[in-house]
Amino acid sequence: MEFLVTITQNWAALRRHPDLDQLVAAERQVGRALVEDGIIVRIWRLPGQRANIGIWRAADATELLALLDQLPLRPWLEAEVMALATHELEAS
């Protein structure tokens, strides 16, 4: 099942963190693994905001929640989740 996930960083709080560089590096590494594992199917940045929007693949909302909780920046992220249904133009 696929979800549309919009993730916004609370940058005001995050940028004062003493270990910011390490956190961001860790976040990137986890992000790469999620892309390689086919969990993050597509991802884009939203111009003008510290936010990204992505297509995530998970068995259900419980698994998606566990995946999001793995992100090192999780405490500074707000995520909005929309459950997606198959469209007939893609089904075949």
Q: Which residues bind its own copies (CB under 8 A)?
A: 1-5, 10-13, 15, 28, 31-32, 35, 40, 42-49, 52-55, 60-62, 64-65, 68, 75, 78-90
β-partners of residue 81 are 5
Closer CB to its own copies, residue 23 or residue 79?
A: 79
Give CA–CA dist 9/79, Å, rounded.
9
Shortest CB 82 distance to its own copies, Å: 7
Shortest CB 86 distance to its own copies, Å: 5
For residue 53, what are the CA distances in angstroms to 17, 36, 56, 70, 92? 24, 17, 10, 17, 27
